[in-house]
A and B are shown apart, each in its own frame.
Chain A
Amino acid sequence: MLMHTDRIGVTASSEASQQGRPAVQLDGVTKRFGDSIALHEVWLKIQPSEFMTLLGPSGCGKTTLLNLVAGFLEADSGEIFIEGALVTETPAHQREIGIVFQNYALFPHMSVANNIAYGLKTRGIDRKEIARRVDDALALVKLGGFGDRKPRQLSGGQQQRVALARALVIKPKVLLLDEPFSALDKNLRGSMQVELKQIQRELGVTTIFVTHDQGEALSMSDRIAVMSAGRIRQIAAPGDVYRRPADRFVASFVGNVNVLTGCLVERRGEVATVSVGDMRLEVPAAPLAQAAIGDVVDVFIRPEHLAVMSGSTPGSLRGTVSTQVFQGDHIDLYIDVAGVAREPVLLRAPGIAALSSCPVGTEVRLMVRSDDVVAFSPGASE
C-alpha cells in the first residue's frame, strides 16, 4: 500500500499500533528560521512503545522536529501533544523527555554516577533511591561499577551508554536520540544498535530516533518517517518503505535503486503494466494516476531484484558488463543497458562466481526477479 499525502496518521500496515491515544502527536507543526521554512505543517502520530525513526538527508528538518518535541525550539504554528497532554507551551524541563545527543553531552565536571543521578536529583528523589536507580541504570547499559569514573576516562561507546542511562533512568515519556551513533566506528555502531533495540523493547519506552543512515533506520525501526525539505514523504514500516516507496525521493534515498526508462502500457485497477525495453513489469498503479497510456515513466528497480540470465531469454534486457566490484560476499556488476538507462545498471550477484562468468565486456541478459518494482512519472515530486 502506498501512502502519498502530507497529512499522514497511521498506515494500514501497522494497525497493531492503533490502540488508545498516541504517545506523541504533532498537529500541523510549522517552524521557520528567518526566511526559510524548516518544517511545513507536519502531522505525525507516534504510538506508545513505538520505535519511530526520522530519516532524511541533512537539512530535511528531522533534527528540528526532534528539538520541537523536546521543547528546545518553539513551533511557529501547530500543536504538540505528549501522552495526550498539550505541551506546545511547556518548557523543556517540564516535559519529562530523555534525550541522547550525537556528542553525548555528558557533564564533564561530574562522575558517571552523578551524570546519571542528575535527572533524579532535580526530581527531589531521596539519596538512597537515587543510588539504587543509578546502579540499575548502569547495569542496564552494561557499565556496572563505572560510577566513579569521569566521562573523559571512557571510550566513545561507553560515553554513549552513559548518556543513554542518564536519559532512561528518569523513566521518560519519550526517548529522543539525535544521530547518537554517527560518531562511532562501524562495528561499534552495529553492536550499539542491537543493544539499544533490546533495551527499548525491554523498557517499552516510546522512542524517536533521528538518523540520515537508511541502513540504521531499516534495521531498528517499527516505523520510519522519511523526510525531505521540511516535509514527511512517507511513514510506514521499514519493509513497506523499502518495497513500496511512496515517491521518487523515498525510492532513491532508501537503499540503492536503478532508474530505468519505461513506458506505461496498461492500467488495470490497482496494478499497471510498464515496458522497459523488451521487459514487461507490473507496478502499483497509484503513483501513475496522472500518466496516460504511452507516456514515458521512470521505473525503479533495486539491484538485488535483477539477475543475470544465461542464454537468450524472451522479455529480458540486453547489456554489457562495464565494471565489476568485489564486495566480499557478493559482486556488484555495473551493466550498460542501451536505450533504457543513462547510467550503468547496478546488479548484485551473490557469491563470487560472477567474477569469472561475467568479466568486463561480456554481453549479458537481465531479468527482474521480484514483484517489488515501482514506477513514477518523470519529474514528479522530489
Chain B
Amino acid sequence: MTKRPFLGWFVSPAGLVALGLTAAMAAVFQFSMRAYIPGSLEVGGFTLQNFAAMLRPLYALAFWNTILLCFETAAFTLILAYPLAYALVRTRSSAVRSFILITAVTPLFLGEVVRTYSWMIVLGNNGFLNTLLVKLGLVERPVQMMFTAGGVIAALVHVTMPIMVIMLAAGLSHIDRNCEKAAESLGAGPIRVFLTVTLPLSMPGIIAGFSTAFAWTFSAFATPQLIGGGRVSTVSTLIYQLGFSSFNFPFAASLSIIGLALSLAVIALLKQAARPLERLASAT
C-alpha cells in the first residue's frame, strides 16, 4: 500500500483547473503586450506601448483613486464592523446573536447588483436620504450623493461589512476570556480591559479583515459602476469601459496587470506593517 493513496485522483482535476487559470492569466499577460487595432478584435504585434500609456495622468489618477477608495472603505468598514462583531461574540442572548448574525451576513449572499441597486434608491436625488433631509428641513434642495465618491464609499462599506464582521468575530471569539478576567482582577475597569487586552488580542482578526476588505474592494465593479455612473473612475470601471466600449482588450489587459501588481504590493506592505502587530497577539 502506498503512503499516498489516490494522490493522482485527488490532484489531477485540480491540476487541470489550475492549468486553466494559469492559461487565462497568461492570456491577460500576453495581450497586455500587444498592440490595439481599433475597430477590430484582432491584435497586432508585441509592444510596450500599453504600459507607457498608463503613465498618463488620467490613468495614474485612476490607480491612485482606486487605492485611496479601497483604504477608506476598509477603514470605515473596520470602524463600523468592530462593534457588531464584538456584540455578536459577547452577547449572552442567543436571540441577539442570531439577529446580528443574520443581519450582518445576509448582505453577503445577496450579490453585488441587489446591494448596489438598493443604495441607488437610498442615495438618489429623489431617494430615501434626500427625501428625509428635505422633509426635516435640513437642506433646501437634494444633496448630490449619487455619482460621487462619497456615495460609492458608503455603498462599498455596506457591501464589505459582512466579511469584515465575520473575520473580526472569528478573531474575537478566540480570545482567552481569562486574560480579561485577570486584567479586571488586577484593577482594570471595562474600558481599560478593552484597550489593553481585548483590542491588542483581536489584532490578527483586524489585520485579516482589513487586508481582505482591501482586496475585495479593489475587485469591486458593480458598485462603482452603477453608483459612480462613470464619474467615479476606478480600475475596474476603466477596464470594463475599455473592453466593452472600445474593445481595446490589450489596454484593458495591461490595466489589469498593473492593477493586480499594485494591489498585491499594497497587501504585501500591509502584511509587513502588520507583522509587529500580529506578534503582539500571538498566544503560547
What is the interface of chain A, defined by CB distance below 8 A to chain B?
70-72, 91-99, 101, 103, 105-109, 118-119, 122-123, 151-152, 159, 163, 166-167, 170
**Cβ of B188 and Cβ of A118 under 8 Å apart?**
yes
Chain B interface helix/strand/loop/mixed:
helix
What is the interface of chain B, defined by CB distance below 8 A to chain A?
176, 178-179, 181-189, 192-193, 196-197, 200-201, 203, 280-284
Beyond A151-B284, A152-B283, whether A105 also contacts B186 by CB under 8 A is: no
**Cβ of B282 and Cβ of A101 under 8 Å apart?**
no
**Cβ of A105 and Cβ of B179 under 8 Å apart?**
yes
Beyond A103-B176, A107-B197, A109-B201, whether A170 also contacts B187 by CB under 8 A is: yes
Task: Determine the distance from Cα of A93 to Cα of B284 in the docked complex, in whole angstroms.
Answer: 26
List residues of chain A with CB within 8 A of the CB of B197.
107
**Cβ of A108 and Cβ of B182 under 8 Å apart?**
no
**Cβ of B185 and Cβ of A92 under 8 Å apart?**
yes
Beyond A109-B281, A152-B283, whether A122 also contacts B181 by CB under 8 A is: no
The 5 listed contacts between A and B (C-beta, < 8 Å) are A95-B185, A105-B182, A109-B201, A109-B203, A167-B186
Q: How many A-B residue pairs have CB under 8 A?
A: 78
**Cβ of B182 and Cβ of A123 under 8 Å apart?**
no
B280's nearest neighbour on chain A, judged by CB, is A109
**Cβ of B179 and Cβ of A107 under 8 Å apart?**
yes
B283's nearest neighbour on chain A, judged by CB, is A108
**Cβ of B185 and Cβ of A98 under 8 Å apart?**
yes
**Cβ of A93 and Cβ of B178 under 8 Å apart?**
no
**Cβ of B281 and Cβ of A123 under 8 Å apart?**
no
Task: Determine the distance from Cα of A170 to Cα of B185 in the docked complex, in whole angstroms.
Answer: 10
- Which residue of A71, A91, A94, A109 has the most chain B CB atoms within 10 A of its CB atom? A109
Known: A93-B184, A122-B188. 19 other contacts (CB 8 A): A72-B181, A92-B184, A93-B186, A93-B189, A95-B185, A96-B187, A99-B185, A101-B182, A106-B182, A108-B201, A108-B284, A109-B201, A118-B183, A118-B196, A122-B186, A152-B282, A159-B284, A163-B182, A167-B186
**Cβ of A105 and Cβ of B176 under 8 Å apart?**
yes
Beyond A109-B201, A109-B280, whether A103 also contacts B186 by CB under 8 A is: no
- Min CB distance B178 to A, Å, is 4
List residues of chain A with CB within 8 A of the CB of B184.
71-72, 91-93
A119 partner, pick from B176, B186, B193, beta carbons under 8 A: B186
